[in-house]
Structure 1
Amino acid sequence: MAHPTAVNVPDEARPETLKDAPLGRESAYPEHYDASLLFPIARAANRGPIGIDDAALPFVGEDEWHAFEVSWLDEAGKPWVRVARFRLPAASPNLIESKSWKLYLNSLNQSRFPDQAAVQATLERDLVAAAGAPVEVRLLKLDDSELDVGRLPGECLDDLPISVEHYTPSPELLSADDADIVSEDLHSHLLKSNCPVTGQPDWGSVWIRYRGPRIDRERLLAYLISYRQHQDFHEHCVEHLFVDLMARVKPESLLVMARYVRRGGLDISPWRATADLEAEARASLPLRLSRQ
Structure 2
Amino acid sequence: MTNSADQSPLGKNSAYRTDYAPELLFPISRQGKRDELGLSGTLPFFGVDIWNAYELSWLNMRGKPQIAVARITVPADSPNIIESKSFKLYLNSFNQTRLGGPEALRDLLQQDLSAAAGASVHVVLTLQEDFGKLQMGELDGVLLDRLDIEVDNYAPQPEVLKANFDELPVEETLVSHLLKSNCLVTGQPDWGSVQITYAGPQIDQESLLKYLIGFREHNEFHEQCVERIFTDILRQCRPQHLSVYARYTRRGGLDINPWRTNYSSGGRPSNLRNARQ
TM class, shorter-chain normalised? over 0.9
1:123 aligns with 2:99: no
Matches within 5 A, 1:42-191: 42-53=29-40, 55-142=41-128, 143-144=130-131, 147-178=134-165, 179-191=167-179
Residues 92-119 of structure 1, C-alpha deviations (whole Å, 9 max, x = no match): 0000000000000000000000111100
Change (3 A) 1:24 1:210: same
Residues 192-219 of structure 1, C-alpha deviations (whole Å, 9 max, x = no match): 0000111000000000000001111111
1:248 aligns with 2:233: no
Over 3 Å off, 4+ runs: 142-146
How far the C-alpha of 1:31 sits from its partner, in A, is 2.2
Residue in structure 1 matching 2:212, options 221, 224, 228: 224
- Tell whether the 8 Å contact from 1:238 to 1:272 is kept in structure 2 after alignment: yes
CA RMSD of aligned residues (A): 1.2
TM-score w.r.t. length of structure 2 = 0.96
- Matches of 1:264 and 1:156 in 2, distance apart? 29
Q: Secondary structure at the match of 1:127?
A: helix
Corresponding residue for residue 276 of structure 2? 291
TM-score w.r.t. length of structure 1 = 0.91
- Matches of 1:180 and 1:220 in 2, distance apart? 19
How far the C-alpha of 1:145 sits from its partner, in A, is 5.4
How far the C-alpha of 1:151 sits from its partner, in A, is 1.4
Residues 143-194 of structure 1, C-alpha deviations (whole Å, 9 max, x = no match): 4455211111111111200000110001111001111310001100000000
1:270 aligns with 2:255: no
- Tell whether the 8 Å contact from 1:146 to 1:286 is kept in structure 2 after alignment: no
Residue in structure 1 matching 2:24, options 37, 40, 59: 37
Corresponding residue for residue 193 of structure 2? 205
How far the C-alpha of 1:19 sits from its partner, in A, is 3.5
Instruction: Read off the aligned partner of 2:23 and give its amino acid letter.
Output: S
- Matches of 1:19 and 1:181 in 2, distance apart? 44
- Tell whether the 8 Å contact from 1:71 to 1:109 is kept in structure 2 after alignment: yes
How far the C-alpha of 1:241 sits from its partner, in A, is 0.2
Residues 109-133 of structure 1, C-alpha deviations (whole Å, 9 max, x = no match): 0000011110000001100110000
Instruction: Read off the aligned partner of 2:104 and give its amino acid letter.
Output: A
How many percent of aligned residue pairs carry the same amino acid? 52
In structure 1, runs of 5+ residues without a counterpart are 1-15
How far the C-alpha of 1:226 sits from its partner, in A, is 0.3
Q: Secondary structure at the match of 2:34?
A: helix
Instruction: Read off the aligned partner of 1:264 and give its amino acid letter.
Output: G
Q: Secondary structure at the match of 2:225?
A: helix
Change (3 A) 1:146 1:248: farther
Corresponding residue for residue 4 of structure 1? none
Instruction: Read off the aligned partner of 1:230 and give its amino acid letter.
Output: H
How far the C-alpha of 1:139 sits from its partner, in A, is 0.6
1:238 aligns with 2:221: no
